[in-house]
Amino acid sequence: AQSVTQLGSHVSVSEGALVLLRCNYSSSVPPYLFWYVQYPNQGLQLLLKYTTGATLVKGINGFEAEFKKSETSFHLTKPSAHMSDAAEYFCAVSVAANDYKLSFGAGTTVTVRA
């Protein structure tokens, strides 16, 4: 069975500063990895995903994440935070194309200070 750990339930950054959200996973097989964002009172929106191929994945809104197999990590970064990045972020893992179930981390809430 797979599991996901997000380090830090809350992250506060200044506008223009680096955003770094940490995600570690455990899986007995090569995983499919996802980051989702949830704005207040809305559903989840896919930011980016890793399936196979290039380990550095670029997503929407300037976010990117790097799959590091040796560290079992999939950390999310954005070089310069914007006020509109304030939201909750979820890391998720699935083990294969024929396993549709997503396992989610507990989430990290990002606040952006002016």
Partner 1 sequence: NAGVTQTPKFQVLKTGQSMTLQCAQDMNHEYMSWYRQDPGMGLRLIHYSVGAGITDQGEVPNGYNVSRSTTEDFPLRLLSAAPSQTSVYFCASSHQTGAAYGYTFGSGTRLTVV
The binding site for partner 1 (CB under 8 A) comprises 4, 9, 32, 34, 36, 42-46, 49, 51, 90, 94-107
Distances, alpha carbon 22 to alpha carbons 7, 9, 97, 106, 114, in Å: 5, 10, 24, 12, 23
Of 58 and 101, nearer to partner 1 (C-beta) is 101
| Tokens read off for 47 | 């930011």
Of 26 and 45, nearer to partner 1 (C-beta) is 45
Helix (H/G/I), strand (E/B), else coil: 51:
coil
Nearest distance, CB of residue 6 and partner 1, angstroms: 8
Of 18 and 106, nearer to partner 1 (C-beta) is 106
Report the DSSP pairing between strands 32-38 and 10-14.
Answer: unpaired
Nearest distance, CB of residue 69 and partner 1, angstroms: 17
Helix (H/G/I), strand (E/B), else coil: 45:
strand
Nearest distance, CB of residue 71 and partner 1, angstroms: 21
